[in-house]
Amino acid sequence: MRSVGVEEELLLVDAGSGAPLAVSGAVLAAAERSTWQRPGTHGRRDHEFEKELQKEQLEFATKPVTEMGELQEEIVRIRREAAHHAASAGAVVAAVATSLLPVKPSLNVGRRYRWMGEQFGLTAQEQLTCGCHVHVSVASDDEGVAVLDRIRPWLAVLTAMSANSPFWQGEDSGYGSYRSRVWNRWPSAGPVDIFGSADRYHEQIRAMLDTGVLRDEGMVYFDARLSATYPTVEVRVADVCLDVTTPVLLAALIRGLVETEARAWQDGQPPARIGTGLLRLASWRAGRSGLDGPLLHPETMRETSAEDAVEALYRHVRQALEDHGDDERVREGIAHLLERGNGARTQRRLHADGHDLASVVTRCAEMTVKP
């Protein structure tokens, strides 16, 4: 069975005001101290946390697992550890994909981040967004690129399901996932053309790096890519999700999608020849609507309801879900998500119920660490 891992980026905020705090260095130092004397580490760093572009955010990665129940336990555990370390720096963690309140982010220290700030100017300076990336193991680069070529039409549905960034700089953006719009300011972000082979994929990456626009392969921000570090396909379209069950639902669907498309490749089925321009429109529509408006159907690229688009994705991967033992979890997860809504709907509902944006952040921080 293919292994799955999840990376999440969390916002570091003041517990009272909800304002982002530039304290990632102090939080990482607390994580270091907590593990320094752990048996068997011999002074080595032994925690899951990393710094990100801005000092107001914290990133973590789960270990690769094959069981979705174990993945959920991992995410709950690490979110709670993140909250514990943040508390030592006077902050709490919130699984929201953009800051609800006005903020001027602070670029993290380091040569790479300094280069990004100089190269991309306001795009880098304003880029305070928190995503959720899902890694699924593949047997080879050939299989991985075959999967990338075939999952393209389905990725926008995942953006809609995960949408958790309706507010930007103190205002309702009108979008379910405004993070996805801000993220697509990067020149390498978004949907890509069909590659056709691993050789052509790597040729494209080399050509992009040779332009000098990008510093390294880590800045190839495709919606889905081969990981430069692990033998995985990395799907990068989702907002970080408020409810811990949602990234698990996404992980199960994405593993099902990878398995479905790998089988299609093995059976000689060609990828759908949907143009990148149409995929960009589907991505915009998903970011705008979330689950509260129309989406583009992944197979027809025509307007349909969010429920129909999600159902199409489920039907497409159902056999793989059954083979993995994930079908019941995914069916229940989809039903629950469509009924209660995603993080964007939760944030707006709290605000409509009379909570100011600061108290919405506080409530979101509480939800972040619930099992």
Chain segment 303-357, per-residue pLDDT in tens: 999 999 999 999 999 999 999 999 999 999 999 999 999 999 999 999 999 999 9
Tokens of 49: 């946390």
Task: Identify the pLDDT of residue 46.
Answer: 63
Cα–Cα dist 282/166, whole Å: 18
- Across the range 223-232, mean pLDDT stands at 96
- Sorted by where each starts, the structural domains of the chain and their CATH numbers stand as 4-9+105-341 (3.30.590.20)
Q: Check whether 42 has a pLDDT greater than 60.
A: no
Strand partners, 49: 60
Closest CA to 22 of 104, 110, 130: 104
Q: Is the confidence at residue 122, as pLDDT, over 50?
A: yes
In the chain, the percentage of residues whose pLDDT exceeds 90 is: 95
Predicted pLDDT of residue 34:
83
Helix (H, G, I), strand (E, B) or coil at 292: coil
With residue 155 as reference, give the H or E element that holds it: helix 155-162
Q: How far apart are CA 79 and CA 84, in angstroms?
A: 9
Structural contact between residues 133 and 241, judged by C-beta atoms closer than 8 angstroms: no
Tokens representing residue 237 in the block: 């379209």
Beta bridge partners of 168: 171
Which pLDDT score, from 0 to 100, does residue 39 have? 52
In angstroms, the CA 79 to CA 12 distance is 12
Q: Using one digit for the tens of pLDDT, what is the confidence trace for 79-105? A: 999 999 999 999 999 999 999 999 999
Amino acid at 265: W
* 139-178 per-residue burial string, b: 16 or more CB within 10 A, e: under 16: eeeebbbbbbbbbbbbbbbbbbbbbbbbbbeeeebebbbb
Number of continuous H segments (helices) and E segments (strands) in the chain: 14, 11
Confidence of residue 36 (pLDDT cuts 50, 70, 90): low
Residues 152-177 have a mean pLDDT of 98
| Confidence band for 111, pLDDT divided at 50, 70 and 90 | very high
Residue 43 has pLDDT above 50, yes or no: no
Q: Could you tell me the two tokens for 169?
A: 């700089």
pLDDT at 371: 85
Task: Determine the Cα–Cα distance for residues 187 and 178; give it in Å rounded to an integer.
Answer: 17
Torsion angles phi and psi, residue 184, rounded to 5: -75, 5
pLDDT at 47: 75
Measured between alpha carbons, how far is 209 from 195 in angstroms, rounded to an integer?
17
Please name every residue paired with 165 in a beta bridge, in sequence order, or none if there are none.
177
Q: Output the average pLDDT for the chain.
A: 96
**Model pTM greater than 0.75?**
yes
CB-based contacts of 37, cutoff 8 Å, min separation 6? none
pLDDT band at 44 (very low <50, low <70, confident <90, very high): very low
Q: Is the pLDDT reported for residue 209 higher than 80? A: yes
